[in-house]
Each structure stands twice: as C-alpha cells, then as structure tokens.
Amino acid sequence: MSNNFELAEQAKTKGNQHFSKQEWEKAIEEYTKAIEYNHNGNGAHTYFSNRSACFAEQQKFEEALADAKQCIKLKPDFAKGYSRLGLAYFKLDNLEEAKKAYQQGLKIEPNNESLKNGLDEVAKAQKPTGLFGPEIWMTIHQDPELKQYANDKDFIAKVNMLQNNAQMAIQTGVLGDPKIKKLFERLMGARFGGMSPDEKEDDSGSHPHKPNNKPNDKQDNEESDEDEEDDEINKKQEQDVNMKDKTQNKEKEKEKEKEKEKKRGRRNY
C-alpha cells in the first residue's frame, strides 16, 4: 500500500514538472498514473485537482469539472478544489454553480485570492451587459423560425452566454453559429427598425411590401409597349376624327352646291 503511495507521489512530482513547463498532456499522463496508484487514499485529491487544472488549460472543461468534483468528494475542506470547480462551471457558462463553488471555498479560506477573484468574475458576467434584455427570449418564442430552437440545449446555452457575457460569446465564436446569427439579425432588426425576416430585400433590391422604385428592364419594356399601343390608338382616333370632319365638310359643300343650283334654276324661270 505504501509502495503505491510512493509511486503515486513520484508520478505527481513528474506531473508537476510538466505542469510548470505548461506541458499539459504529459502532466495529465503523470497525474493519471498517480490516480491509478492511489485513487482514493491520502493525498489523492491533489492528483484530481492538478489534472483538473490541466484539462482546463486544454479547454476541456467537462473533464476539468469531473476531476474537480472528485477532488472535493475526497477532501470537502480543500479550498483549492472549489477554485477548480468554480472555474470549470464558469467556463461552461453555469454561472450560478460557479458562484456557489467560489462561495463555498471562501467559507473555508476567506482570504483566498483565487476564490475571491473567481467570484468577482462571476459577478461581472452576471451583470447585464445592456446588449439585449428580456426581448431576446420574446423574439425567440415569437419568431416562426427561431421558436423551433427553443428546446435546443446547445442553442439555449449559447443564448445564455450571449445574454450574460457578450464578450465571452464573441471570444468563443458563438456568433458564428447560423442559428445565433439569425437571432442576432432579428434582435438588431427589431431594435434599430430593421426589416423583419419576411421583409428582407430580395436580389433585385425590391421590398415585398413596398413599391419597387429600382429600375427594372422588363417593367420598363412593358410600360414602353403600353405607351406605343396608346399612341397607336390615339393616332387612329385622330385619323377617324379627321376623316369624319372631312366627310362632314364634303357634305356641307354638296349642300351649298345644291342651294346654288336651286337659285340658278329660279332665276332661269
């Protein structure tokens, strides 16, 4: 038993050396060996604590969380374990659990700077950024396209991050998600008087609910054809009127000639 403890401590020492050089993968291998030699005995909590820190450095926060929990399970009064736990929860955007972890750690070590700094970070993250308020959820539930994602856990987690910590959302690439992009467009449109989803401009630049003022060749051609047709009708009408006038004038001339003939006839008699 003591032999296993010694082997575990030797592995831990090697792990710490790799840790100081930021060789996270090699450090993880050594801490894992230490855990295999001594997974629940004296000092085992430090192996899980150190491996949790390595996982966090590799952005493997689920693994970091699991090790932090095991660390605290083995030694509930180990303040640094709550620091590991708080960090993992924070990075997974579970701010409430992160807050509880830091607070619990501070009960054990009230002056622990790491725990106090962690709690401050949670407070900053929970403070509304002013980017979007409750309207973000209203938009999701009212929008025909977005409401289908209301039960999507990944989508909800990203929305929470966007709502609670916009800076982190940007840094982690949340805005690159097509669903989040769509949500962001809707929110920006609603806030700044932009178009709703069904009112986006089409390729021609026309607006479905507004007159199309942009020149359109086909439309112009149709209008031109109508103008030409109207001109033809007008010309024909003018011709008809002129013809009628000419005919009436001819009739009048004939009537005059007849009157003259009658007068002549009277004179001859």
Query: How do residues 232-257 score in pLDDT, each as one tens digit?
Result: 444 545 555 455 555 666 666 667 66
Report the pLDDT value the prediction gives residue 200, as an integer from 0 to 100.
35
Could you tell me if 207 and 213 are in contact, meaning their C-beta atoms sit under 8 angstroms apart?
no
End-to-end CA distance of the chain: 165
Report the pLDDT value the prediction gives residue 242, as an integer from 0 to 100.
56
- Distance, CA of 131 to CA of 192 (rounded, Å): 13
Burial of 51 (0-12, 13-18, 19+ CB in 10 A): buried
Report the pLDDT value the prediction gives residue 17, as an integer from 0 to 100.
97
Residues in the chain with pLDDT values less than 50: 130, 191-234, 236, 241, 265-269
The pair of three-digit structure tokens given for residue 70, joined into one six-digit string: 């095991």
Report the pLDDT value the prediction gives residue 226, as an integer from 0 to 100.
39
Could you tell me if 126 and 95 are in contact, meaning their C-beta atoms sit under 8 angstroms apart?
yes
Give the predicted TM-score (pTM) of the model: 0.52
Superfamily of the domain at 2-126 = Tetratricopeptide repeat domain (1.25.40.10)
Could you tell me if 139 and 186 are in contact, meaning their C-beta atoms sit under 8 angstroms apart?
yes
The rounded Cα 94 to chain-centroid distance in angstroms is: 20
